[in-house]
Amino acid sequence: MDENLTTLTHELHEYGVAHDADKPDRLDRLRNLEPDSAALLALLVRATNARNLLELGTSNGYSTLWLADAVRANGGRMTSVELDPARSAEAASNLDRAGLRSVVDLRIQDAADALSRSADSQWDMVFLDAERPAYRSYWPDLVRVLRPGGLLAVDNVLSHADQVADFRALVTADDRVGEALTPTGAGVLLIVRHQ
Ligand SMILES: C[S@@+](CC[C@H](N)C(=O)[O-])C[C@H]1O[C@@H](n2cnc3c(N)ncnc32)[C@H](O)[C@@H]1O
């Protein structure tokens, strides 16, 4: 990550924390990924040489910046979907500032729709960071759209363990995948689709 992007990600992190501090309604918050988790995901993109990445839940693009920088280093591209047009517009502006706009296909789209329209094995990596109660219903498509050996990362599995318990039970019972929980940030569950 170059100096400009490091400065921008620091700035956005601070902005996000301040923005969310006085918002009692969770849905009004930006809910950006913790910097440690963002760094972990960016490292995993590079380590796995992911070139086709799908992010579900853009918000204002904090995690998108980290992922896009890493995926560009691999010569790849990513798609990031968000329901809220204003947030997606903010993400576009932040990606512009970072010189990363051309790496990311930003879509105003429901995560379920993005998944159902994805081809089998389309994605090297998927980052899931949207509304947790829906995750269980995404599972069949999540496995289908990951390429064999592909990686799924899910945030907030420790901070909101109760809300993802049913999703986690599905993952654990599915012998097509393996999983490991990293206690970084809010807890990132890593799931690999077996070859
Ligand atoms: C936790 S925030 C994402 C934070 C972002 N990944 C980051 O680190 O900056 C969740 C975002 O998902 C969006 N969202 C919620 N449900 C969605 C859905 N079904 N499809 C697409 N986006 C959704 C919300 O509007 C919100 O901006």
List pLDDT tens digits, range 67-126. 999 999 999 999 999 999 999 999 999 999 999 999 999 999 999 999 999 999 999 999
Ligand 1: atom nearest CA of 60 is 9
d(CA 110, ligand 1 centre) in Å? 9
d(CA 136, ligand 1 centre) in Å? 16
d(CA 145, ligand 1 centre) in Å? 19
pLDDT, average across residues 3-7:
93
- Number of Cα atoms under 13 Å in the Cβ half of residue 143: 18
Q: Distances from the Cα of 78 to the Cαs of 48, 128, 175, in angstroms?
A: 15, 13, 28
pLDDT, average across residues 7-28:
94
Over 90: is that where the pLDDT of 132 sits? yes
Q: pLDDT tier at 50 (50, 70, 90 boundaries)? A: very high
d(CA 84, CA 172): 32
| Atom 1 of ligand 1: nearest residue by CA position | 31
Burial pattern 55-79, b for ≥16 Cβ within 10 A else e, equals bbbbbbbbbbbbbbbbbbebebebb
User: Which mutation among 9, 58, 157 tests ligand 1's pocket best, with the greatest number of atoms within 8 A of CB?
Assistant: 58
Over 90: is that where the pLDDT of 42 sits? yes
- CB atoms near residue 27 (< 10 Å): 8
Q: pLDDT tier at 65 (50, 70, 90 boundaries)? A: very high
d(CA 4, ligand 1 centre) in Å? 25
Ligand 1: atom nearest CA of 57 is 12
> Taking a C-beta distance cutoff of 8 angstroms, is the pair 16, 62 a contact?
yes
| Atom 11 of ligand 1: nearest residue by CA position | 57
d(CA 160, ligand 1 centre) in Å? 15
Second-level CATH architecture of 33-193: 3-Layer(aba) Sandwich (3.40)
d(CA 16, ligand 1 centre) in Å? 14
Q: What is the mean pLDDT of the chain?
A: 97
Q: Where are the chain's structural domains? A: 33-193
Q: pLDDT tier at 1 (50, 70, 90 boundaries)? A: confident
Q: Chain centroid to CA 116: how far?
A: 17
Percent of the chain with pLDDT over 90: 97
pLDDT, average across residues 130-138:
97
pLDDT, average across residues 131-149:
98
pLDDT, average across residues 39-66:
98
Query: pTM for the whole thing?
Result: 0.98
Ligand 1: atom nearest CA of 61 is 9
pLDDT, average across residues 164-186:
98
d(CA 187, CA 157): 5
Q: Give pLDDT, residue 195.
A: 86
Q: State the greatest distance between any 2 C-alpha atoms of the chain, in Å, as a whole number.
A: 46
